[in-house]
Amino acid sequence: MTNDPGPQKLSFILKAKPAGVKPPAYEWQDLALKIIAEFGVPDFKRNSVFQVCKKNSKEFVEKAMNETKELCKTGEKWKYFFKVASSLNKPKE
């Protein structure tokens, strides 16, 4: 036999709800969060990372990320990521 407490207050039900992190809705959001964590992107540049990931293909972003890891051993990797992404975006002459 189960112990039914009967009707409960709404505030009690909302407090009992487990607090979890909502997963990203799109794959590009997950990729952007990975870049932010890996390169230590400051808060004021997070939106720019999301824009790069949203506007470009996954392969493009991964290529920029891999080149950044390979070429930038010291310093602020997030700045170098933006340089690599912009240079990959330029048409070749």
pLDDT per position as a tens digit, 33-86? 999 999 999 999 999 999 999 999 999 999 999 999 999 888 899 999 999 999
Does the residue 83 lie in any domain?
Answer: yes
Contact 40, 58 (CB under 8 A): no
Mean pLDDT of 28-35: 94
Does the residue 82 lie in any domain?
Answer: yes
* Confidence band of 19 (pLDDT split at 50, 70, 90): low
Does the residue 36 lie in any domain?
Answer: yes
* Confidence band of 93 (pLDDT split at 50, 70, 90): low
Measured distance CA(85)–CA(83) in Å, rounded: 6
Measured distance CA(71)–CA(88) in Å, rounded: 14
Measured distance CA(38)–CA(91) in Å, rounded: 28
Does the residue 14 lie in any domain?
Answer: no
Structural domain range at position 43: 24-89
* Confidence band of 89 (pLDDT split at 50, 70, 90): confident
Domain count, the chain: 1
Contact 35, 45 (CB under 8 A): no
Contact 71, 80 (CB under 8 A): yes
